[in-house]
Structure 1
């Protein structure tokens, strides 16, 4: 288990620091809670000082009855739980794919496509060879089709962008498999994928989801910054919903234009939007709607409405307060202090052009206004320490593959923990001189020679 602390330092800067790996024999909530207690005791930290906890949505972590967050809340009711925003954003994509039939089928076909094209080294080499032939300009970098995963942030958008770029190369590989594969199942699979990939609806969903995931990916990247605060994150979620709403109202015609250009470029059969829509399952049954109605109302509007609604449903745990951090008298004083603070800051030009509450906290420390307005600054710190995403934890956990490799696979937990801390917190390690390391090593025990 990787543990990262988020705090506001003495200069008003938000910090996220990896403090170590903890070996746990099992991943039950009780076992994880016991491991955290031992870690806090080792570093003389108090769980009562914690004001926020953030995990993904696994039941052992965020379960409402016996999850880790519930066990900590029983001991400290001010340690509010915030479900990792980046995980929630990824779940929005997954939930959308599961709820809308056409989008669900689209992602299933894309998954099959990436598996077939990347199934062997020979097929990957064919893809690269096709790239070299089609993209002969110097400086073009060879690319492969990335597999999308529910637990890998931004992977869906990356897959779709690669498909758009490598579309003709992918068709070349599918045609080769259909004509040259010895297995009839592989031939049939490649033939079926070609039919779907060359269809108008595939191109439509490819461009639609590429745009939606592009909008949400900007939010995903922003949420993973270490100094991101929850107030700014809420604003980013709001602006993302507004951008999706704007695209729903104004974006269909521009989407059709992009789809038409793509179809013309790769000789894909177009659909007349004014013709009557034919349901592939019931071709003889009249639908009494046009193709435009099907693609705009049943798909474009529906998909975006689901995306906007899902964003609203996922990000809803921000109404908590910290009543125990302010006494009854301080709550009354805070209202008056806020009034004085706002009037004072409006007249101070040093507070112009600040970007978010994090910059405001830094400026309060620089101007020493945190001394005059202690309650306001305490309120700021509480909002800043709430975790936004577990990106720092994920990066720390991923660092183990760089530390514990196949050639270094017998290191113990203590050595691996120390090595991971050095790897993750490199900026601190760079401040330690080699001379200091040698002196400490020399003083640990008597040695035959002086280093």
Structure 2
């Protein structure tokens, strides 16, 4: 435990200048930043051998240095995390939302579940606070629900105050996703699921597409290629030289793994297809010339996978992701326009249906031209489909045409349509749209009193018939007031409106309107203004790539990511736990 005192001091020393955000929380940096170095140093410090003697300075100015001998098995750093309850007291008695995700590390076959609480803090900022990290969670909705309930209970948060839930759970089966969502809803019928803004849509679509094995192989190849870009300078230089020989300005088109891993798969696929020939030449160069066995073998494996199936999946996923690209970008924007997102969602689903029902012939011609240009052998579509060599004993009467049309083309499109339906149910889309009617953009252009009253009726515990009548009157007065008040101009986000209402006292003048605004802000679909889950998720992901996925490391990460709270824990409080 004494290590925690020393680690706390080291964290303060290693804190990079300008790394604090407006909420007092730490801004999470990329893997090579000083912030990442601090976390890695903290983890190493906490992992060093047992039974070491350390001097710990007591907060009592007259006290001598305290010599503490660590036990053979140090207690979990989470023991001091109980002081986080001091911060979370601000949530108690008020409403909050949650965001649950599972981070999977393919190279280690490990995973961890993370839980964030979303609430309005004392500064009226929307905050996403990390509550806990659970290594190796059971892949069952009921088990995930137990883990979520346990962490909420430890934080002293009641399910009765939960009003919004959002999930990442990329790659989890529909029944697990539904079971977790339903199990929590059954405990509290007044909370609603919406697609969280922290979840990049393309990431979820790519993960869901892994249900088609050829698509899974495609992205394994893309990741391998990204690793070559990062680890093999000769490969990157060769690709760039070959492309520039053709008179093309790269303009940073070649993506590195960090960018690809976090939502740039569409751009990566476009670049792969566009520069397919020079990429192949560079792969041959690495395989035959570069004197690094690991890199040469990786290039060999990538080249080995460049078959017709790969080309088919490459162009198919490029086309499918292009249809949802505008929606993905809109959801990932700083200011989310619910009306625009809803329209883009409907249009994306319409285009996917048209592509599935009417686009096969056009796509088949496109893949034929691509294979011809790049000298990729094409199967005879009239011949019997031959499964992978290891499955040749399996009888099949399916032709290649039927396989590629039904089991590949239509299957992938249907997977995307199902994922969009799962992420954006009718109820969640309606909720998202209704909440946006309070948006202050363009002088409250989206304001609609009747829709906002309908939105309030979704929360009968907060809005009785009497409260609805009061809300009706307050909304009418509110919109006239703020449209004529210069202080409410030039605002874009719901969070801006919340801050300005408190600054001007309009939260007390229109309490029912402000309550409705708070309920909208804790929905995971609204971008957070202060501490956010997205940066923490990236940091956890990059750290778990290097560290063992166990509870000790998870607790260390929790302390680092919530160090604004950790730093408030006094040395005396730590010593008292020894």
Q: Same fold (TM over 0.5)?
A: yes
Which residue in 2 is equivalent to 1:10?
Answer: none
The structure 2 residue matched to 1:21, chosen from 11, 22, 25, is 25
The structure 1 residue matched to 2:384, chosen from 276, 288, 311, is 276
Between the aligned partners of 1:239 and 1:34, the Cα distance in structure 2 is 48
Which residue in 2 is equivalent to 1:93?
Answer: 205
Which residue in 1 is equivalent to 2:115?
Answer: 61
Which residue in 1 is equivalent to 2:277?
Answer: 168
The structure 2 residue matched to 1:302, chosen from 389, 392, 411, is 411
Matches within 5 A, 1:225-240: 225-228=333-336, 233=341, 236-240=344-348
Q: Deviations over 1:225-268 (max 9, x none)?
A: 33326676566545433433332222322322322232232232
> Is the alpha carbon distance of 1:31 and 1:55 closer, same or farther for their aligned partners in structure 2, counting shifts above 3 Å?
farther
1:298, distance to aligned residue in structure 2 (A): 0.5
> Is the alpha carbon distance of 1:104 and 1:140 closer, same or farther for their aligned partners in structure 2, counting shifts above 3 Å?
closer
Which residue in 1 is equivalent to 2:463?
Answer: 326
The structure 2 residue matched to 1:74, chosen from 131, 137, 158, is 158
> Is the alpha carbon distance of 1:28 and 1:49 closer, same or farther for their aligned partners in structure 2, counting shifts above 3 Å?
farther
1:21, distance to aligned residue in structure 2 (A): 0.6
1:274, distance to aligned residue in structure 2 (A): 3.0
- Residue 386 (1) aligns with residue 390 (2): no
Which residue in 2 is equivalent to 1:113?
Answer: 225
Which residue in 2 is equivalent to 1:436?
Answer: none
Count of matched residue pairs: 360
Q: Indicate if the aligned counterparts of 2:101 and 2:114 stay in contact, CA closer than 8 A.
A: no
- Residue 133 (1) aligns with residue 245 (2): yes
Q: Is the partner of 1:93 in helix, strand or coil?
A: helix
Q: Indicate if the aligned counterparts of 1:85 and 1:389 stay in contact, CA closer than 8 A.
A: yes
> Is the alpha carbon distance of 1:389 and 1:146 closer, same or farther for their aligned partners in structure 2, counting shifts above 3 Å?
farther
Q: Indicate if the aligned counterparts of 2:286 and 2:295 stay in contact, CA closer than 8 A.
A: yes
> Is the alpha carbon distance of 1:213 and 1:29 closer, same or farther for their aligned partners in structure 2, counting shifts above 3 Å?
farther
Where is the helix percentage greater, Structure 1 or Structure 2?
A: 1
TM-score (norm 1): 0.62
1:88, distance to aligned residue in structure 2 (A): 6.5
Between the aligned partners of 1:278 and 1:94, the Cα distance in structure 2 is 26
Between the aligned partners of 2:329 and 2:77, the Cα distance in structure 1 is 31
- Residue 265 (1) aligns with residue 367 (2): no
Q: Deviations over 1:49-77 (max 9, x none)?
A: 44545564564416531234995650761
1:301, distance to aligned residue in structure 2 (A): 1.1
Q: Indicate the RMSD between aligned Cα atoms, in angstroms.
A: 4.8
Q: Which ranges in structure 2 are unaligned for 5 or more consecutive residues?
A: 1-20, 28-38, 44-75, 103-111, 117-146, 168-195, 432-454, 481-491, 502-506, 540-559, 565-578
> Is the alpha carbon distance of 1:189 and 1:33 closer, same or farther for their aligned partners in structure 2, counting shifts above 3 Å?
same
> Is the alpha carbon distance of 1:396 and 1:91 closer, same or farther for their aligned partners in structure 2, counting shifts above 3 Å?
closer
Between the aligned partners of 2:422 and 2:350, the Cα distance in structure 1 is 15
Between the aligned partners of 1:68 and 1:145, the Cα distance in structure 2 is 39
Q: Which moved more, 1:277-286 or 1:99-108?
A: 277-286
> Is the alpha carbon distance of 1:266 and 1:94 closer, same or farther for their aligned partners in structure 2, counting shifts above 3 Å?
closer
Between the aligned partners of 2:222 and 2:384, the Cα distance in structure 1 is 28
Q: Deviations over 1:157-177 (max 9, x none)?
A: 222122122212211111112
1:78, distance to aligned residue in structure 2 (A): 4.8
> Is the alpha carbon distance of 1:132 and 1:66 closer, same or farther for their aligned partners in structure 2, counting shifts above 3 Å?
same
